[in-house]
Structure 1
Amino acid sequence: MNRSHKHQQGLTFISLIFILGLIAFFVLLGLKIGPIYLNHSKVVSALAEIEKTPAIEEQSETEIRNSLGKRFNINYVDDVTQDDITITHQRNYLKVTIEYEVVSKIIGNLSVLVEFNDVIEVGKQ
C-alpha cells in the first residue's frame, strides 16, 4: 500500500481526453454564439444612430422602418425582420422596440436560443 510519489504524478490519458473535450466544447460554443452577439451589436448601433438623427420623432413610421432596414442591409443583419420592430409614435415622442430571438444549432439536437429586447425613446411623452 505504500507507493512512492513517482507513480502518482501527472494526468491519466482519460482525464486528458476529458479536459480536451471540455475545452473543445466551450470553443465550439463560443464560435457559435459569438456571431450572434456581433450581429446584436450591429442592431444596437443602428438604434443608436436612429436616436441621434435630428427630428426623428417627426418622421413617419415608414421612414423610420426604411432607415432601420437600410442600416441592417448595410451591416448584413439578417436576424431582425420588420415584424420584430415595434414603433410607438405620438406627437413629440418616439419609442422603437426591437425584440427578436436567434436559434443556433450547436451539435446534433443541441441548440442555443438567445433573446434580445432593445428599446430607444426619443422626446417627451
Structure 2
Amino acid sequence: MTSTAKQQQGLTLITIIFILAILGFFVLLGLKIGPIYMNHSKVVNALSAVENMVDVETMSKHEIMSSLNKRFGMNYVDKVTDEDITITKHDDYLKVAIVYERVEKIMGNLSVLVEFDESFETGDK
C-alpha cells in the first residue's frame, strides 16, 4: 500500500495552538471557580454544624450569628458578611438562610457570577 503525503497530514501548528488556547482557558476557569466552590463547601459545613447543635432552637439570633461567625473564622471563610445571613425565629420555628454571590474576574472584561442560597429550618411554622 502506498499513500501520498496529502493523505498523511496531521494537525497543523494553528490547530495545535487553538487546542492549547481552549485547554488553557478551561484550566484558568477551573483555577478561578474552584476556590469559590471550596469556600462555599465550608459555608455549608458551618451551617450544617449549627443545624445539628442540640439547643439551636433555644438560642437567640445573636448567639446563632456568633456561632456561625466563629465557624467561618475557624475555616477561613471569606466573602460572607452578616448582611448575607438571615435568621427568622418565632415560637418553635427557626430558619437560618445564607444567600450570597461571588463575582470573580477571569480576564479583561470577562467575569463569572456565582450565586449561592443555603438554608435550614427547624420547628413548626
Report the counterpart of residue 121 of structure 1 in structure 2: 121
Q: Which residue of the partner structure matches residue 76 of structure 2?
A: 76
Structure 2 unaligned blocks of 5 or more: none
Runs of 4+ residues deviating >3 angstroms: none
Paired letter, 1:24: G
In structure 2, what residue type is equivalent to 1:124?
D
Match for 1:122: what amino acid?
A: T
One-letter amino acid of the counterpart of residue 54, structure 1: V
Q: For 1:73 and 1:5, locate their aligned partners in 2 and report how far apart those are by CA, in whole Å.
A: 67
Q: TM-score, with normalisation over the residues of structure 1? A: 0.94
- Give a deviation string over 1:14-64, Cα, whole Å, max 9, x none: 010000000000000000000000000000000100110002011000000
Instruction: Report deviation, 1:77.
Output: 0.7
* Separation in 2, partners of 1:63, 1:32: 34
Cα deviation, residue 5, structure 1: 4.7
Equivalent residue letter for 2:64 = I
Corresponding residue SS for 1:102: strand
Q: CA deviation at 1:124?
A: 1.7
Matched, 1:18 2:18: yes
